[in-house]
A and B are shown apart, each in its own frame.
Chain A
Amino acid sequence: MEYLTLFISAVVVNNFVLTRFLGLCIFFGVSKNLNASIGMGMAVTSVMTLSSMLAWVVYHFVLAPFHLQFLTTVVFVLLIASFVQLLETIIKKQAPALYNMWGIYLLLIATNCVVLAVPLLNAESNYTFLMSVVSSIGSGLGFALAIVLMASLREKLRLADVPKPLEGLGIAFILAGMLALAFLGFSGMISL
């Protein structure tokens, strides 16, 4: 039950994009195209889950026992960046088909705020291993949900008549604002 609450809270109530403003660069950059955003959502979810597992192990078996918590930021950044690089190399060799689909997104998220934020938040909240896995999967799916919704909205927007200065980024922000407003309806559903 506890895990279910954590999961739902990560997906909709505390949606990373729409209530915590993380991962906006990819969110606005990739959401022009629906297929690309589905790929991106999947890539972010898997990288986030794997890297937060890795980060949990490092935090609880290396950083915490030696009281090196002040190094968390440095260690996590390097850990995640090198892990993503490694993942890219492995996928390229072992599963070229998968690489063709996702490869380009992997490098984009190597140093992305949302991928770094989840392990940091998990470490901060002192989650157990299982809890941090559940919360990372939830956060990843929440990101995927937001980006897919946004991409479908933006595809419709192509036919709309937008005032010239608002074209591009401006209208995208306003759309995101509307989405955030809609997601506000979920707040209060679960309080953690």
Chain B
Amino acid sequence: MKVLEVQNLGVNFGGLRAVDNFSLSISENELVGIIGPNGAGKTTVFNLLTGVYKASDGEIKVNGKSIKNKSCHQIINMGLARTFQNIRLFNDMSVIDNIKVGLYHRYRYNLMTGILKTSKYFKQEEAINEAAVNLMDVFGLMPYRDYLAANLPYGKQRELEIARALATKPSLLLLDEPAAGMNPQETIDLMNTIRKVKDEFATAILLIEHDMHLVKGICQRVVVLNYGQVLTAGPTDQVLTDSAVIKAYLGE
């Protein structure tokens, strides 16, 4: 089954056609990259997928269901999760609590149980704790368990954001420039992390990236956006050697 199907997506900002005729479909456990020059509309696509902006036309289906008229949090609960270009964490909360917020919908108990602390509360909280610890283990966040998110080193902040997104158990994870601001070594570590996420969590990943090493290293397919339109799409090695793509990036 396709986790994401996008057909002829388009959006206007005033007179500007920011995204035009964008189509893409992603299968389970696939790793796809979106590349393109700055201002090509990559983040706008993410914002359309997660309902932050409403599409002017076209259709988006997540796990076979249309996201029309759904708000951001409803779309997330349909199986999408995302990170942000400029990291957005709950800065004054501990690392483990950041992840526990992501687990909100997966382990439930009602308000009265929460306030009166019946035995169901303790059972569920234990499950929440266990799930959070498992996620932290994957990303090596255990040593930082009780740190405030704001005090984490930059690379760890990125990983925490990914861990929090994974906590919602998405079938498709959207990563917005995960390698931004990282040095080559950190980027290599990140590539390993992303591979690990793909394998261990059996999730599909769609990522925006400027770092061509990362794209070349892990993406199975690449979509190139330019001026809001798909310039070309296909297997990574083919696309990255395409002359039109090189022209869009480097000019004539």
A and B: partners?
A: no
